[in-house]
Amino acid sequence: MSSYEKVLVALRRVIRATDLHSKRLSKHAGLTGPQLLIMRTIRDLGEVTIGTIADHVSLSQATVTTILDRLEHRGLVYRVRSTRDKRKVHAHLTEQGEELLAQAPNPLQEDFVQKFQSLDEWEQTMILASLQRVANMMNADDIDASPVLTVGSMLKDDGWKEKA
Amino acid sequence: MSSYEKVLVALRRVIRATDLHSKRLSKHAGLTGPQLLIMRTIRDLGEVTIGTIADHVSLSQATVTTILDRLEHRGLVYRVRSTRDKRKVHAHLTEQGEELLAQAPNPLQEDFVQKFQSLDEWEQTMILASLQRVANMMNADDIDASPVLTVGSMLKDDGWKEKA
DNA sequence: ATCTAATGTTTAGAGTTGTAAGTATTTCTG
DNA sequence: CAGAAATACTTACAACTCTAAACATTAGAT
């Protein structure tokens, strides 16, 4: 079994764990991971457009729309069409939404967060860098003028190309 | 922005990249990532049950069933109920399925594989270990008697608890 | 031998996700 | 200003994913 095949398996396990946690969240807190993430974005950024939300949470605009549909239907969020530019739509939390969000748990497993934070700093850095590196390598074909990823630059914070 | 929040973002990016690639695969090769993965498992393991497939690809049994439904409908796979134990169902590739699979590309971005393999060995090891570590930390609450994860044991191959 | 528990798969229902096409609005160009 | 191009969002559709419940079969217990 080649090394990258192991990466594939590890990836599937990570993705699955994330999904399972999302389902668990939805049962206990009434919000799934993506819903939670989107609401947090709205809270933190204030008067956001749908597109901005999509960028922030790494989802397509269409996906955010459908999730907002559900949230709006439940009275946790409302939309206002911008008067300045009527193409734009701004999302806001309702009072009920803010309350629910305030009580809601982390979008990541508490358990995971706790474990992660108890790691040595260098280890946290390494894990984060690895994940970002993987994300960059995977996204490379989406980004036309992708930066040259220097081998061995791992521990530098290379972040990733913010969409222009 | 705390360190684990960056992890969350990186994770979303990785998951999204995986998803996008799957959609792309489905367009070019006619098979999505999970379909491809399942078919490879059938090819490599021979006479497998649905449950075994599910374990191997880190998906629930129900998910594998629905994916097999689609594959069977397209004549790429067929099911045979075991005569020994009539609860069991074995999945096989049809000739057409084998052909398609032979031509199909990697379930992971070629580009990614290439980049990954061009990394220094220590870096590959580090990335793989990081991913496995994240997967382990996330899965911990699913596994009752989870092993104690020693801080700093990163580079040892701790794999993960194989289901008993 | 029968009832119960365990095992293996499928079905039902809900949520997330993407692409492509459709609609509305704004901006640019002649 | 009229038409074309760009921008922002929504709708339609297909796939994936899970849990819970239903179903069938086998294994174990009395």
DSSP-assigned letters across all residues of B42-59 = HHHHSSEEHHHHHHHHT-
- Identify all chain A residues contacting B21, using CB atoms and an 8 Å cutoff: 138
- Go through chain A and tell me how many residues it has: 164
Asked if the A3-158 domain carries CATH number 1.10.10.10, the reply is yes
| Confidence band of A112 (pLDDT split at 50, 70, 90) | confident
CA/C1' separation A93–D7 (Å): 25
CB-based contact A137:B115 (threshold 8 Å): yes
- The 10s digit of each residue's pLDDT in A48-69 is 999 999 999 999 999 999 999 9
Q: Count of CB contacts below 8 A, A vs B?
A: 167
Question: Rounded to whole angstroms, how far apart are CA atoms A32 and A22?
Answer: 5
Q: pLDDT value at position B113?
A: 85
- Go through chain B and tell me how many residues it has: 164
CA/C1' separation A143–C30 (Å): 35
- The 10s digit of each residue's pLDDT in A15-35 is 999 999 899 888 888 899 999
Q: pLDDT value at position A149?
A: 29
pLDDT at B140 over 70: no
Token digits for A129?
């860098």
Among candidates A158, A59, A17, A7, which has minimal Cα distance to B112?
Answer: A7
CA/C1' separation B164–D28 (Å): 21
B106-115 average pLDDT score: 79
A114-125 average pLDDT score: 90
pTM: 0.80
Q: pLDDT value at position B4?
A: 79
Q: Which residue ranges make up each domain of chain B?
A: 3-158
3-class secondary structure, A91: strand
DSSP state string for A47-66 = SEEHHHHHHHHT--HHHHHH
| Confidence band of B115 (pLDDT split at 50, 70, 90) | confident
For A55, which residue in chain B has the nearest alpha carbon? Answer: B13
B52-71 average pLDDT score: 96
pLDDT at B26 over 60: yes
Here the contacts of A83-88 (C-beta below 8 Å, separation 24 or greater) are: A88/A49
State the average pLDDT for chain A.
82
| Confidence band of B127 (pLDDT split at 50, 70, 90) | very high
- Kindly give the pairing relationship between strand B89-93 and strand B48-49: antiparallel
State the average pLDDT for chain B.
82
Helices (H), A74-120: 95-103, 110-117
Contact A137 B4 (CB under 8 A): no
Question: Rounded to whole angstroms, how far apart are CA atoms B132 and B45?
Answer: 23
pLDDT at A142 over 50: no
- Strand C nucleotides within 7 Å of a protein CB: 7-13, 15-21, 24-27
> Closest nucleotide to A79's CA, by C1' atom?
D9
Token digits for A97?
């939404």
Q: pLDDT value at position A146?
A: 31
- Identify all chain A residues contacting B28, using CB atoms and an 8 Å cutoff: none
Question: Rounded to whole angstroms, how far apart are CA atoms B153 and B131?
Answer: 14
CB-based contact A13:A87 (threshold 8 Å): no
pLDDT at B158 over 70: no
pLDDT at B142 over 90: no
Contact A17 B124 (CB under 8 A): no
Question: Rounded to whole angstroms, how far apart are CA atoms B34 and B19?
Answer: 10
CB-based contact A88:A81 (threshold 8 Å): yes
CA triple B8-B11-B16, angle to 5 deg: 125
Which residue is associated with the tokens 């998906």?
B59
Q: pLDDT value at position A107?
A: 76
Q: pLDDT value at position A140?
A: 59
Provide the β-strand partners of residue A78: A92
